[in-house]
Amino acid sequence: MSRNQVVFGLGLATALLAGWVAFPRALYSKRPQPLAFLHKTHAEKSGVSDCSQCHAFGDDGQYTGLPPMETCVGCHSGKIGTSTAEATLVDHYIKRGVSTPWLVYSRQPANVWFSHAVHVKRAGLACTDCHGHYGELDQSRIYEVNRISGYSRDIWGHSMTRLHRAPGDGMKMSDCEDCHRRHSVQVGCLGCHE
Ligand code: HEC
Ligand code: HEC
Ligand code: HEC
Ligand code: HEC
Ligand code: HEC
């Protein structure tokens, strides 16, 4: 190998590495949640261990998704701890009657129709099959938005190559379809797109 080839090879490797590291950082912009709610504290300290006490199916069978403020007021009408996150919850949201503008990591584009009732109640899937272990975390995750598509990073998933992904890391069209194939479920375009 000539000296020029070595120099070229090193230059190419450096450029690729820089792109590999820098591209994802440039592609996603970061936004913190309005306040750091921790699932782990609640599982351990609040006595509420069942997910459905906060993420419930309504009487009509529809998923209500994120808990409304009333779910929190029972315990947090005044401060019970010393964390700044709880102080913000009480002073900024609960006392002023403002609901918390949570960012939803798994939010799909508006043209996608998704039903928790079908997947959780009818098919008996676990939350972890699609959300990983988010419901057990002891920290608040940063929400990342793709600057080009405007989608949450969780749609593509955290691996740029999409190889060796953990369950729940990524929910693109092909991920929905892969699971449907495994379960021999047939859904047409209009089943998922309104
Ligand atoms: C059954 C009681 C209970 C309910 C319901 C409850 N919490 Fe808590 N929460 C607690 C306890 C206990 C702590 C720990 C307080 C401490 O020791 O700092 C806590 C702590 C917090 C904190 C501080 C950071 C953390 O998570 O450790 C935030 C923020 C918070 N709660 C938000 C909420 C929100 C938002 C809701 C409604 C969706 C809610 N809580 C519902 C009991 C509850
Ligand atoms: C005390 C109420 C409470 C309980 C109990 C609770 N959650 Fe949550 N959960 C929340 C709140 C508030 C948020 C919104 C803030 C956030 O994303 O951290 C949330 C967000 C989530 C999300 C994020 C959805 C998304 O894509 O943004 C998932 C997944 C989730 N919870 C799963 C679970 C699971 C699984 C359990 C049971 C093991 C559980 N939660 C128990 C209050 C609760
Ligand atoms: C088959 C995959 C799948 C399973 C299983 C699943 N989810 Fe989801 N979840 C999703 C998708 C996809 C979205 C985004 C829906 C959308 O944007 O329309 C979502 C959204 C959410 C949200 C945000 C609510 C909102 O405002 O839309 C919460 C909270 C949540 N899921 C909690 C849970 C919990 C708790 C369980 C277990 C009882 C669960 N999920 C099971 C795929 C799943
Ligand atoms: C199992 C559910 C499902 C089925 C079936 C499905 N889609 Fe999708 N589709 C999605 C989801 C989820 C997204 C958004 C995430 C993404 O972009 O991959 C999407 C995104 C798209 C997009 C936006 C382009 C893109 O990649 O962002 C187009 C176009 C599309 N689908 C067309 C179709 C057509 C045509 C069919 C039938 C041949 C179809 N879809 C069937 C779930 C589905
Ligand atoms: C972990 C596996 C899994 C994933 C991921 C998954 N699904 Fe499904 N889905 C199922 C199963 C199983 C059924 C069949 C439910 C039944 O009828 O028992 C189903 C059924 C459906 C149906 C048919 C509903 C009906 O009324 O018959 C739609 C629509 C659908 N899924 C949309 C989606 C979309 C959109 C996504 C991705 C955002 C997705 N699914 C991701 C397992 C999955």
C-beta 85 within 6 A of ligand 4: no
Q: What confidence tens digit (pLDDT) does each residue in 120-130 have?
A: 999 999 999 99
Specify the pLDDT at position 110.
94
Tell the residue nearest (CA) to atom 34 of ligand 2. 135
Which pLDDT does position 193 carry in this prediction? 97
- Of 162, 171, 173, 176, the one to substitute when testing ligand 4's pocket (max ligand atoms within 8 A of C-beta) is 173
pLDDT reported for residue 101: 95
Place of tokens 């190889």: 163
Q: Judge contact between 153 and 145, C-beta under 8 A.
A: yes
Q: For the chain, which ranges sit under pLDDT 50?
A: none
CB contact at 8 A, 108 and 114: yes
pLDDT score of 164: 76
Are 157 and 169 within 8 A, CB to CB? Answer: yes
Q: What tokens does 126 get? A: 């676990």
125 within 8 A of 89, measured Cβ to Cβ: no
For residue 115, how far is its CA from the centre of ligand 4 (angstroms)?
Answer: 15
pLDDT given for residue 78 in this prediction: 95
Neighbours of 171 (CB within 10 A): 22
